[in-house]
Amino acid sequence: MTKLSVNINKFATIRNARGGNNPNLIQIAIDCQRFGAEGITVHPRPDERHIRYQDVRDLPAVITTEFNVEGNPIPSFIDLVLATKPTQVTLVPDAPDALTSDTGWDTIKHYDFLREVIQEFKKAGIRTSIFINPIAPMIEGAAKVATDRIEFYTGTYAHHYFQDRERAIAAYRDTCRLAVDLGLGINAGHDLDLHNLQFFKQNMASLLEVSIGHALICDAIYYGLENTIQLYKRALQE
């Protein structure tokens, strides 16, 4: 059973555009879970252009499923995660001014750094995951830094899906097998949507969790949030 974690960043973007507290992120998190989401994901960035650090501090009080906090492990992010103790922390190598995350870690180049940070989170009882591309040496490096899980960056898959979906999935399918053999749990996220999610799931038998935000929230404009969450869950089950 693959869990759906809803990334609520875009709701925060809408709130911040007008100031105030509309939409209310606390209520959004409550409703997403009530509508069937098995987790809530947030990705605070240093400029707080969507999720604010205070949001991360406030949300654990209403999370009844799983709380996943993503981000680049700069000192302020590490302190925030250790203070809030989410279910999972996902380490993402995005620059402070990045529009969105667009690649995974070089686990060989950043071996010492990743291993140190991961051990710090593990000591606090927080499950760790690292954002990664479907490249065999990077997967092997992920096992060596002792992360619990990897999260496949699926933007490349989504970009090529309509051109040749078999070719688009091939590297993910192959490296998924490698990761499982190395004892790593498998998550995925970025540009997954109602068009490409089911095929991805069908080819990733060990997929534990997907984190989806932008596409899901865009679909919710047309279908409604509750119905949209159910549509995504259905794609993961069929």
**pLDDT tier for residue 91 given thresholds of 50, 70 and 90:** very high
Please tell me the distance from the alpha carbon of residue 13 to that of residue 137, in angstroms, as a whole number.
Answer: 36
Indicate the SS3 state at residue 1: coil
From 204, 205, 206, 211, select the one nearest 190 (Cα to Cα): 211
Q: Omega into 23 within 30° of 0, i.e. cis?
A: yes
131: containing domain: 3-237
Total structural domains in the chain? 1
Please tell me the distance from the alpha carbon of residue 229 to that of residue 238, in angstroms, as a whole number.
Answer: 15
Residue 141's alpha-carbon distances to 111, 115, 175, 186, in angstroms, are: 7, 10, 12, 15
pLDDT tens for 111-125 read 999 999 999 999 999
Q: Which domain CATH number covers 15?
A: 3.20.20.70
**pLDDT tier for residue 211 given thresholds of 50, 70 and 90:** very high
By the 8 A CB rule, do 121 and 88 touch? no
Q: Answer whether residue 177 shows pLDDT above 70.
A: yes
Find the radius of gyration of the CA atoms of the chain: 17
Helix (H) or strand (E) holding 4: strand 3-7
Question: What is the average per-residue pLDDT within 208-226?
Answer: 98
**pLDDT tier for residue 103 given thresholds of 50, 70 and 90:** confident
**How many percent of the chain have pLDDT more than 70?**
96
Question: What is the average per-residue pLDDT within 8-18?
Answer: 96
Question: What is the average per-residue pLDDT within 45-58?
Answer: 95
Helix (H) or strand (E) holding 152: strand 149-153
**Which residues are known to be catalytic?**
43, 70, 190
Question: What is the average per-residue pLDDT within 206-235?
Answer: 97
The DSSP code for 135 is -
What is the DSSP track for 57-101? HHGGGG-SS-EEEEE---HHHHHHHHHH--SEEEE----TT-SS-
How much is the mean pLDDT over the chain?
Answer: 95
Would you state the pLDDT for residue 84?
A: 98
Those residues with Cβ within 8 angstroms of residue 217's Cβ, 6 or more apart along the chain or in another chain: 10, 11
By the 8 A CB rule, do 229 and 4 touch? yes
